[in-house]
Structure 1
């Protein structure tokens, strides 16, 4: 029966009965048993190994302006311009889709040409957009980054007010989709009330939840109680914003990690650009922190590298749920690959791109070690 359902998740019970030589009532009884055993997850007979990752948050039109020389402030600078699809949740969803993972995207767009292009591109990648909110009275989100001649970001401007419409009521209307997810990934473009509701749901249902920070100001959208969150991914500045103080030394950084873990999150990953990442290991309160160095990379464009890291971490946790070290190694590899291309998501990414990254043992030394 499972093989027939795997081949056609929408197969009718009567067709199953005919194929198996059983009565329809017998088929219904077998299906009910499979659902109780979690071998099926309900109509349309969702199989556990094909449950999607659901990404919730921003999907923008990204504009990049790259200076052709050193940037002079308060005057005109010659530059080249490009446009692409972006937004943290959307970027993560595209990376996951290219890695071969079933993925759904819950976001909001305007009913404009930018929104139509965003949705069409996602559909071409096989991303499920059934839960997306299309709004007739607002423009789709935009993110404009100004890069220097070396591809490093100077400043970015974001018009993302429409994501405030992804409120708890929106979340309630998508409960069935969330419940069928293998993993939920949310960015902090969502309103505080929505993030709080997601965390509460993860706490109640033990649904794996990954939160991805987007900027220091939007750390205010992170709830006080993080109990139930599987993983929080943020950079050093965002961690400093969370604890409300500068983190000038490694000792202060370690103390901040311990403070946030005490707020209930199971694990943290702190990205540090060219210096690599820190990740926690062990149960809450053990405060074991491991350092991984970044891969060397020729930087073409930094945009999207952090989202690629987060996507690879989530992809890896789907394969090896408890190996955060391996997940971070895979994240660093994909981040380095993304730095080397002009596109926000690496265009040649595929299901086998990260399989050659192996886990390596690491022994913590006191509270911080390098691996």
Structure 2
């Protein structure tokens, strides 16, 4: 390949929406020469052309973790430092993966960019998603590392007692990975990224969202990983987290409504456009203005609750699905998110099989 084509491909990878005239100006070539190079690269399959996609079919691109979930549920009161009888359930997991499956079950176009090992677990996880219609093209498949795992220890009521996460493979979703997968993200209406991603990758996604005017939804995964977000939130359309993660982000306790409102105002000053706070049984608080509104969850018989794993991911997926259709209705999006979370609470699976496109009607 000629030097000009190498340089042109690099420019297209960094900005898939760049015009032929901009390419010609930056490379010192004629526009016809640029057109010839693009035609040849398209013929070679190295680029797919500009993504003229109808808005209704623009994909939601999810970026982040995929792993194997193992859930151990105690049959009686759990005693630390001792052996406890339990039941075991194994299922697919990972925040970005879970959100992608929820969205696919709702009938939405979704693309997942993730990292798995080239082992039996990783290949099975990708095959399950592809069978549901999730596009996984561009995802990293490592030959030298095992697929990640998440082991949750639950009490007899299904509440999380302890979780152990082996997610090192997600660290390979670095800025180089972003450059390689730029064509997969280019047609997206929404980007949904979890905070398992390295900080440099999150920085790149925020910059990319500002440049392309794409909508970026970030979802927290744990209090320790809030440090990956950094102080500059420009380019983040929506941040979804719980009260503990918000406290970790702002570095102080948030004991009442006034403190929560103050934290939200500080995040707005940092560039964040909208916020959703999961507040346990009270529901969610949400805002895209000065105040934080509280939305209660739908009624749910406590006896129907199986366990909590995946409920937060279902809520985020519901929010993303609703905003994909109507980006201005945050309250309606939170209401759908709470409905999906309630369905997941009543399932042993991390993603409820009761989800269907009918929920979006």
- Same fold at TM > 0.5: yes
- Deviation string for 1:114-146 (max 9, x for gaps)? 101101111111100111100011110100000
Pairwise mapping of residues 337-352 of structure 1 onto structure 2 (< 5 A)?
Answer: 337-352=343-358
Q: Which has the higher helix share?
A: 2
Alpha-carbon distance, 1:45 to partner? 4.9
Q: 2:340 matched to 1:315?
A: no
SS, match of residue 359 in structure 2: coil
- Aligned residue pairs total 312
Aligned partner (choices 271, 292, 295) of residue 289 of structure 1: 292
Q: How far 1:43 sits from its partner (Å)?
A: 5.2
Partner Cα separation in structure 2 for residue 46 and residue 205 of structure 1: 15
Higher relative contact order (CA 8 A, sep 6+): 2
Contact 1:273/1:294 (8 A) holds in 2: no
> Is residue 207–residue 235 contact of structure 2 (8 Å, CA) maintained in 1?
yes
Which residue of the other structure, out of 223, 227, 236, is the alignment partner of 2:230? Answer: 223
Q: Distance in 2 between matches of 1:43 and 1:292?
A: 41
Cα deviation for residue 223 of structure 1 reads 2.4
Task: Name the CA distance, whole Å, in 2 between partners of 1:42 and 1:182.
Answer: 17
> How big is the shift at 1:204?
1.3
Alpha-carbon distance, 1:44 to partner: 6.7
- Say yes or no: does 1:234 pair with 2:236: no
Q: What do residues 173-192 of structure 1 show as CA deviations (whole Å, max 9, x unaligned)?
A: 11111111111000000000
> Following TM superposition, by how much is the alpha carbon of 1:354 offset from its aligned partner in structure 2, in angstroms?
3.8
Is the 8 Å Cα contact of residues 302 and 339 (structure 1) preserved in structure 2? yes
Moved segments of 4+, more than 6 Å: none
Residue by residue over 1:259-311, the C-alpha shift from the partner in whole angstroms, topping out at 9 and shown as x without a partner, is 112110100000011110100133xxxx2211111222231110100000000
> In 2, Cα distance between the equivalents of 1:77 and 1:347?
30
CA apart distance, 1:49: 2.1
TM-score by length of 2: 0.84
Residue-by-residue CA offset, 1:150-190 (whole Å, 9 max, x unaligned): 00000100000111100001001111111111110000000
Q: Spell out the pairing of 1:1-371 with structure 2 (5 A cutoff).
A: 42=49, 45-282=52-289, 287-297=290-300, 298-355=304-361
Q: CA RMSD in A?
A: 1.4
Q: TM-score, normalised by structure 1?
A: 0.82
Separation in 1 of the partners of 2:239 and 2:85? 39
DSSP 3-state at the match of 1:348:
coil
Distance 1:354 1:54 in 2: 19
CA contact (8 A) 2:343 2:354 kept: no
What SS does the aligned partner of 2:357 have?
coil
Alpha carbons 1:184, 1:208 under 8 Å: kept: yes
> Do the aligned partners of 2:199 and 2:230 also contact (CA within 8 Å) in 1?
yes
Query: What's the secondary structure of 2:358's corresponding residue?
Result: coil
- CA deviations 1:217-241 (Å, max 9, x no partner) are 0001102111111100000000000
SS of alignment partner, residue 64 of structure 1: strand
Q: Partners in 1 of 2:110 and 2:360 — Cα distance?
A: 18
Q: SS at 1:352's partner residue?
A: helix
